[in-house]
Amino acid sequence: MSPEETPLLRDKALPRAVVNTTATASAGPSPGPQLPLNIGHRGYKAAFPENSMPAFEGAVAAGAHALETDVHLSRDGVVVLSHDPTLKRCFALDARIADCDWAYLSTLQSVREPRAGMPRLADLLVWLGGDAALDAVWVLLDIKTDDDPELLLPAIARTIEGVGVREGAGWKWRERVMLGGWNETYINHARLHLPNFPLAYIGFSLPHAYKFLSDDQPGVHFNLLQATQVGPLGARFRREARRRGRRIFVWTVNDEGWMEWCVRKGLDGVITDDVGRFGEVRDRFLVAEEEAARGGVSWPRTIKLYAKAILLQGLALVFSVLLWHRLSGRRGKSKSNGRAEADKP
């Protein structure tokens, strides 16, 4: 089957940029595994202040195919890009974003150098839409559960609708923006307010992820903790997801061993803090495979990686049980899923 005939290229539920970039990545003399897309976690978090315009610009310059970023709502209804609901970690201020107007938030500068401000979702879209050279770059939104979905999702919709499409661009935002939600409530609100946009379930629990493989949740893709995909349970989930035409992106992969693992398993995308490092791993994949075939497997390193993955799977299972109703999120507003803010995707 030629690259032009692969199911991925026929999948109209994904952003066009996903289709085009993956098609290029998969082209080659042999069918081989699909090369995962390089997705910048909060931009280029390893080199710049996270979720800042320099981080997004740096990620694209380093070869990112897509940008993962987080959204929150200011007091006056502006959709801003920040992982945390508070300003403490990134801006050293004891305040919540939901209690601040954009006029104040726009004056802030990050603690981390090179100092940068907090952008709005509109700022990111205007930048991406203003240059034809960026047309292949798409956005994976992490819609945080700290904000009321009945307020946040309409605000996201208004923001996207308010950023015009460049004349002659040949695409619409629904072809470049994927909406990610942590539970059913947020995904259903995304489906309601932004129909025809691709969706992704974000999580660390395979039992919850399976709920979105059902016919009740058509067209939902997956943005999962990478450890969930290790071992037989992960392999089974990948087989079922592929059978149903769903894509799997994994977070947050910074170890080169796991980066190589993601490439070998043919995952659809790797969300990483270090875009440059994953780009190198991705580029040298075929050479690395040949060297591995000659030199064998580094068992101590492999055992260490898998032991860590098993530990993370155990912790994810505990959290899944303790937070089952909150993760299900079928009624009303859902709060944080309980993991440390700095470690969330």
Output the pLDDT for position 259: 96
Weakest mean pLDDT among 131-145, 198-212, 271-285, 317-331: 317-331
pLDDT in tens, 184-198: 999 999 999 999 999
Query: Amino acid letter at 22?
Result: T
Instruction: Name residues whose C-beta falls within 8 Å of residue 19's C-beta, 6 or more positions apart in sequence.
Output: 8, 9, 11
Residue at token pair 């956005």: 139
DSSP H or E segment with residue 156: helix 149-162
Weakest mean pLDDT among 17-26, 86-95, 306-315: 17-26
Q: Where are the domains of the chain?
A: 3-73+123-343
DSSP states along 223-255:
EEEGGGGSHHHHHHHHHHHHHTT--EEEE---S
Output the pLDDT for position 169: 86
d(CA 86, CA 322): 25
DSSP state at residue 96: B
Looking only at the bridges linking them, the beta strands covering 79-81 and 66-73 are antiparallel
Going by C-alpha positions, the residue among 217, 57, 85 that lies closest to residue 144 is: 85
Confidence of residue 144 (pLDDT cuts 50, 70, 90): very high
Cβ atoms of residues 69 and 45 within 8 Å: no
Query: Amino acid letter at 203?
Result: G
What's the token pair of residue 250?
């994994």
Whole-number percent of the chain with pLDDT over 70: 75
Confidence of residue 330 (pLDDT cuts 50, 70, 90): low
Give yes or no for residue 6 having a pLDDT over 60.
no
Output the pLDDT for position 319: 64
What's the token pair of residue 98?
């939901």
Per-residue exposure over 5-31, b if at least 16 CB sit within 10 Å of its own CB, e if not: ebebbebebbbbbbbbbbeebbeeeee
d(CA 85, CA 67): 20
Give yes or no for residue 45 having a pLDDT over 70.
yes
What is the mean predicted confidence (pLDDT) over 222-247? 96
d(CA 73, CA 223): 22
Query: Amino acid letter at 83?
Result: H
Phi-psi domain of 338 (left: phi exceeds 0; alpha: psi -120 through 50; beta: other): left
Largest CA distance in the chain: 60
Give yes or no for residue 317 having a pLDDT over 80.
no
Question: Model's pTM, two decimal places?
Answer: 0.82
Confidence of residue 16 (pLDDT cuts 50, 70, 90): confident
What's the token pair of residue 304?
């260490």
Q: How many helices (H) and strands (E) does the chain have?
A: 15, 9
Cβ atoms of residues 250 and 224 within 8 Å: yes
DSSP state at residue 120: B
pLDDT in tens, 24-34: 333 323 334 57
The mean pLDDT of the chain is: 85
How many C-beta atoms surround the C-beta of residue 63 within 10 A? Answer: 15
What is the mean predicted confidence (pLDDT) over 198-226? 95
Cβ atoms of residues 98 and 75 within 8 Å: yes
Give yes or no for residue 67 having a pLDDT over 80.
yes
Backbone angles phi, psi at 77, to 5 degrees: 85, 20
Contacts 24+ apart (CB under 8 A), 319-324: 319/204, 319/205, 320/204, 320/205, 320/207, 320/208
Residue at token pair 């061993």: 257
CATH number of 3-73+123-343: 3.20.20.190
Q: Which residue has the higher pLDDT, 99 or 316?
A: 99
Cβ atoms of residues 270 and 249 within 8 Å: yes
Output the pLDDT for position 167: 83
Cβ atoms of residues 186 and 329 within 8 Å: yes
